[in-house]
Amino acid sequence: MKLHGLVAATHTPFHSDGSLAPEVVPVQASHLAKNGIKSVFITGSTGEGHSLTQQERHSMFKAWAQAGPSHNLTVVAHVGSNCLEDAKILATTAADLGLDAIAMLAPSYYKPGNLDELIECCAHVAAAAPHLPFYYYDIPVLTGVCFSMPEFLAVAAARIPNLAGIKFTNDNLEEFTTCLTMGSHDIPWGIDEKILDALKVGAKGAVGSSYNFAAPLYHKLIAAFEAGDLDTASRLQQQAVSLIEAVAEIGYLGAAKQVMDWQGVPLGPARLPVRTPSAAQLEALRAKIESPILQP
């Protein structure tokens, strides 16, 4: 299994009262498929996974287990939790529902104190779904857990039989480049604003939130890069950065869900402690964003 191309880190849909809205998932899946997305990464950071109950995550797994195959989408379920026993249950659930792979963040309240402890945590969860590819989700800016990813691959490969690779949401391009050269592991890039930098050093896939609402822009960027047109690729990368900055200025997750609503995918508000921008803020954002991005 390889997460090549654009992988959308999907939002979790809520009703206006904040309750889960799994019935929206088929609409999400259709929207993404129409925009050339082949794989999704669910209940991760963009999906507000740590703000969902275990049962809600189970419900999202079930919804995507049905909607994913219907739209030819590979589904990777994030199962990470500060409680590793919960993570194991979610991993087993993902396997039972026939999802394609699992991933996990490091525990971030009681943090692993060294690389060996991190690998032990990952092995503990990966073993609950031994037939599913397992990705470690490295995002130190949110977890506060920061170890060498080349060293992780060198040691973890022997201890996690189903290790597929790393979701590399870490701006250390030197480590990323090294990981790409280590065996056959899959190392999808995780920072949308720097996808061009990752492509230049050999990235084959990227997981990101803005691919939900701006996939056509990134497809053009990748095509320009592959054609050797770096001027166009750089211009499109800067356009993507400007778009992300405009959304992030008023609260990224809540605003991004509203951008999706403008495209015909009603995802509802963000869940506390993440805030949803005010109507006035959203109106100002809409005026900043180029109209083609807002078309359903």
Is 136 catalytic? The answer is no
Annotation says 135 is catalytic: no
So what's the pLDDT on residue 290?
Answer: 67
Neighbour-count burial of 110, counting CB atoms closer than 10 A to its CB (0-12 exposed, 13-18 middle, 19+ buried): exposed
pLDDT digits (tens, 9 = 90+) for 22-75: 999 999 999 999 999 999 999 999 999 999 999 999 999 999 999 999 999 999
Instruction: Indicate which residue of 135, 136, 167, 257 is catalytic.
Output: 167
| CA–CA gap between residue 187 and residue 198 (Å, rounded) | 11
What does the buried/exposed string (b/e) look like for 165-187 if buried means 16 or more CB atoms within 10 Å of the residue's CB? Answer: bbbbbbbbbebbbbbbebeebbb
User: Per residue in 171-219, pLDDT tens?
Assistant: 999 999 999 999 899 999 999 999 999 999 999 999 999 999 999 999 9
List of domains in the chain: 5-215 (3.20.20.70)
Q: Give the active site residue among 137, 211, 218, 252.
A: 137
